[in-house]
Amino acid sequence: MEIIMTIVAGVLVATATYLMLSRSILRIIIGTALLSHGAHLLLLTMGGLKRGAAPLLGQEANAYSDPLPQALILTAIVIAFGVTSFLLVLAYRAYQELKTDDMDQLRGNENHE
Protein backbone atom coordinates (compact mmCIF):
# COMPACT_ATOMS: atom_id res chain seq x y z
CA MET A 1 0.00 0.00 0.00
CA GLU A 2 2.78 2.43 0.93
CA ILE A 3 4.36 1.95 -2.48
CA ILE A 4 1.16 2.90 -4.27
CA MET A 5 0.65 5.90 -2.01
CA THR A 6 4.23 7.07 -2.50
CA ILE A 7 3.78 6.87 -6.26
CA VAL A 8 0.50 8.80 -6.03
CA ALA A 9 2.23 11.48 -3.96
CA GLY A 10 5.04 11.58 -6.50
CA VAL A 11 2.54 12.06 -9.33
CA LEU A 12 0.91 14.89 -7.40
CA VAL A 13 4.29 16.56 -6.84
CA ALA A 14 5.21 16.15 -10.51
CA THR A 15 1.96 17.69 -11.74
CA ALA A 16 2.34 20.45 -9.17
CA THR A 17 5.83 21.19 -10.42
CA TYR A 18 4.62 21.28 -13.98
CA LEU A 19 1.83 23.71 -13.10
CA MET A 20 4.15 25.94 -11.13
CA LEU A 21 6.36 26.31 -14.19
CA SER A 22 3.55 27.77 -16.27
CA ARG A 23 2.78 31.39 -17.01
CA SER A 24 -0.61 31.97 -15.46
CA ILE A 25 -0.86 32.92 -11.81
CA LEU A 26 -3.91 30.80 -11.25
CA ARG A 27 -2.13 27.71 -12.50
CA ILE A 28 0.77 28.41 -10.21
CA ILE A 29 -1.58 28.62 -7.24
CA ILE A 30 -3.28 25.40 -8.30
CA GLY A 31 0.23 23.94 -8.41
CA THR A 32 0.98 25.00 -4.85
CA ALA A 33 -2.33 23.55 -3.66
CA LEU A 34 -1.51 20.25 -5.37
CA LEU A 35 1.96 20.32 -3.87
CA SER A 36 0.55 20.63 -0.38
CA HIS A 37 -1.80 17.71 -1.09
CA GLY A 38 1.20 15.65 -2.15
CA ALA A 39 3.10 16.61 0.98
CA HIS A 40 0.17 15.69 3.24
CA LEU A 41 -0.23 12.33 1.56
CA LEU A 42 3.48 11.67 1.91
CA LEU A 43 3.36 12.58 5.60
CA LEU A 44 0.52 10.15 6.17
CA THR A 45 2.27 7.39 4.21
CA MET A 46 5.57 7.84 6.01
CA GLY A 47 3.78 7.41 9.32
CA GLY A 48 2.81 3.90 8.25
CA LEU A 49 -0.48 2.73 6.79
CA LYS A 50 -0.97 -0.39 8.92
CA ARG A 51 -4.56 -1.14 9.59
CA GLY A 52 -5.71 -0.18 13.02
CA ALA A 53 -8.51 1.66 14.70
CA ALA A 54 -8.96 5.40 14.44
CA PRO A 55 -6.94 7.07 17.20
CA LEU A 56 -9.89 7.32 19.57
CA LEU A 57 -9.32 5.54 22.88
CA GLY A 58 -12.98 4.71 23.33
CA GLN A 59 -12.77 2.13 20.57
CA GLU A 60 -11.03 -0.45 22.76
CA ALA A 61 -9.00 -1.76 19.83
CA ASN A 62 -5.77 -3.69 19.88
CA ALA A 63 -3.92 -1.29 17.67
CA TYR A 64 -4.50 2.30 16.68
CA SER A 65 -3.24 4.14 13.65
CA ASP A 66 -0.43 6.55 14.47
CA PRO A 67 -1.89 9.82 15.87
CA LEU A 68 1.25 11.94 15.54
CA PRO A 69 1.36 12.25 11.73
CA GLN A 70 -2.34 13.04 11.80
CA ALA A 71 -1.74 15.92 14.18
CA LEU A 72 1.09 17.17 12.00
CA ILE A 73 -1.04 16.95 8.87
CA LEU A 74 -3.89 18.77 10.53
CA THR A 75 -1.58 21.66 11.34
CA ALA A 76 -0.17 21.61 7.82
CA ILE A 77 -3.58 21.62 6.18
CA VAL A 78 -4.61 24.72 8.08
CA ILE A 79 -1.38 26.53 7.30
CA ALA A 80 -1.54 25.57 3.62
CA PHE A 81 -5.09 26.85 3.53
CA GLY A 82 -4.04 30.18 5.04
CA VAL A 83 -1.21 30.58 2.53
CA THR A 84 -3.34 29.52 -0.44
CA SER A 85 -6.11 31.96 0.38
CA PHE A 86 -3.58 34.72 0.85
CA LEU A 87 -2.01 33.90 -2.52
CA LEU A 88 -5.39 33.89 -4.18
CA VAL A 89 -6.30 37.32 -2.88
CA LEU A 90 -2.83 38.52 -3.85
CA ALA A 91 -3.39 37.31 -7.39
CA TYR A 92 -6.79 38.97 -7.44
CA ARG A 93 -5.32 42.27 -6.27
CA ALA A 94 -2.41 41.99 -8.68
CA TYR A 95 -4.85 41.58 -11.52
CA GLN A 96 -6.88 44.56 -10.34
CA GLU A 97 -3.83 46.81 -10.21
CA LEU A 98 -1.76 45.51 -13.09
CA LYS A 99 -4.43 44.16 -15.44
CA THR A 100 -2.60 40.95 -16.13
CA ASP A 101 -2.24 37.46 -14.76
CA ASP A 102 0.65 36.54 -17.01
CA MET A 103 3.85 35.92 -15.04
CA ASP A 104 5.99 36.97 -18.01
CA GLN A 105 4.33 40.35 -18.00
CA LEU A 106 4.71 40.62 -14.24
CA ARG A 107 8.45 40.24 -14.66
CA GLY A 108 10.55 42.80 -12.82
CA ASN A 109 13.32 44.57 -14.65
CA GLU A 110 15.89 47.26 -14.01
CA ASN A 111 13.57 50.09 -14.98
CA HIS A 112 10.54 48.94 -13.10
CA GLU A 113 10.92 46.87 -10.04
Q: Which of residues 56-85 bind other proteins (CB under 8 A)?
A: 56-58, 64-68, 70-71, 73-75, 77-79, 81-85
Nearest distance from residue 63's CB to other proteins, in Å?
A: 9
Burial degree of 5 (CB within 10 A; 0-12, 13-18, 19+): middle
Nearest distance from residue 34's CB to other proteins, in Å?
A: 6
Contact between 55 and other proteins by CB under 8 A: the answer reads yes
Contact between 32 and other proteins by CB under 8 A: the answer reads no
**Residue 39: count of CB within 10 angstroms of its CB:** 17
Nearest distance from residue 10's CB to other proteins, in Å?
A: 4
